[in-house]
Amino acid sequence: MNEQLRTMYKKAGIDDAVINFSEKCEESLIDRFKDIDDMAALCQMKVILAMQKNRLSAQCFSDTSGYGYDDVGRDTLERIYADVFGGEDALVRAQITCGTHAIALSLFSNLRPGDELLAPAGAPYDTLEEVIGIRPSKGSLAEYGVSYRQVDLLPDGSFDYDSIKKAINPKTKIAAIQRSKGYAMRPSFSVEQIGELIAFIKSIRSDIICFVDNCYGEFVEELEPCQVGADMMAGSLIKNPGGGLAPIGGYIVGTKDCIENAAFRLTSPGLGREVGASIGVNRLFAQGLFLAPTVTASALKGAIFAAKVYESLGFRVLPASDELRHDIIQAVELKSPEALRAFCEGIQSAAPVDGFVTPEPWDMPGYDDQVIMAAGAFVSGSSIELSADGPMREPYSAYFQGGLTYPHARFGIVRSLQKLYDECLVNRELL
């Protein structure tokens, strides 16, 4: 770190001990960062070639309103998404409000009363409990007569293939796999692992729809789930693929049948994908996708830096700084509500937006526990921007993600460490 940058950090309230410690951590990560840059370059080429193949043009950025018939930009972008993510078809819409909505849309559109949803890789993310009906909620799959079966992971975090085979029955219609860890201290799954699980399920019943919640995983690896056998995958545009520019939206990529079903559920039977005006977001969606590989790379560097800093101080982190990454989420087990609060306060204080705000736990919609969230973002709730959150329950883990630029992600982690340092919640002798 040069003297000018050190001076800026000190003006921001960072002690010399914290600056020096963070520098040592960063110096050990040069080779990891090079690997991330190489992956970003590869994914960037995939996006560029897909845009060129599908003849993305300035005309595609024109606004549409009303019904949105013949929206050239929207239709072109959906073909680009299908090519980039290895599906037959795609649905990319501002009318899909978030990742949970994209997942719910995928499930509701392809399940019917009497069908069963199988979770072969353990419990789903908290917000899906009410979608499924694990926690009773109006309009859940359970209210529509869809049953649910779950197979937990083995103690080592691997798939319980014997139990999965026993769980599959004539009612099983969709097997839903969550790529990222969610609010669980388990490893996220690689695309290769997901492909192996899908192949196993298909060997038992080839007609089972294999769905992947791909949130936080896009552009982290060379391949995506549809390229290893998934029939359908979904995610949010205010996460990785929106590149920090998408103001709202979600996507679903998969087989033509699955996407057609999703389109009819999103709008109306008989209308499907033909309606849904882009209302001025086509350029932001396209440019965000163009930036997504390098933005994701910045977030990955920030995650690895966070892992190195906190594992060096004796905290349990998942994954470790030297492990392969399968998503942008970095979990840090902080052990106490005070430490979780301090971590999130540090991240919030590094934000360009609402950096003066103190985050507080609250009853966030869709969650059973109170959640504390640091999210000073240009797009509300955007978790490809620097953010951190966690449920107020043991072991009080913070889930750190995002950073449109690595320098910002780095500063956020240093601020979080400074906050814990100030409150004597870290071992100062290790710095």
Domain coordinates of the chain in residue numbers?
3-42+290-430, 44-289
Give the pairing type, strands 330-333 and 397-401: antiparallel
Closest CA to 131 of 157, 112, 149, 108: 108
Q: For the ranges 107-116, 139-148, 337-346, 363-372, which has the lowest average pLDDT?
A: 363-372
How far is CA 195 from its chain centroid? 19
pLDDT reported for residue 378: 96
Confidence of residue 190 (pLDDT cuts 50, 70, 90): very high
CATH of domain 3-42+290-430: 3.90.1150.60
- pTM across the whole model: 0.95
Residue-wise pLDDT tens digits, 323-359:
999 999 999 999 999 999 999 999 999 999 999 999 9
Decide if domain 44-289 falls under CATH 3.40.50.300: no
* Contact (Cβ atoms closer than 8 angstroms) between residue 264 and residue 272: yes
Task: Pull the structure tokens for residue 232.
Answer: 């359908």
How far the first Cα of the chain sits from its last, in Å, is: 17
Residue 36 CA to its chain's centroid (Å): 17
Instruction: Using the predicted structure, report yes or no on whether residue 182 has a pLDDT greater than 90.
Output: no
Q: Kindly report the backbone phi and psi dihedral angles of residue 250, in degrees, each rounded to the nearest multiple of 5, phi listed first.
A: -150, 170
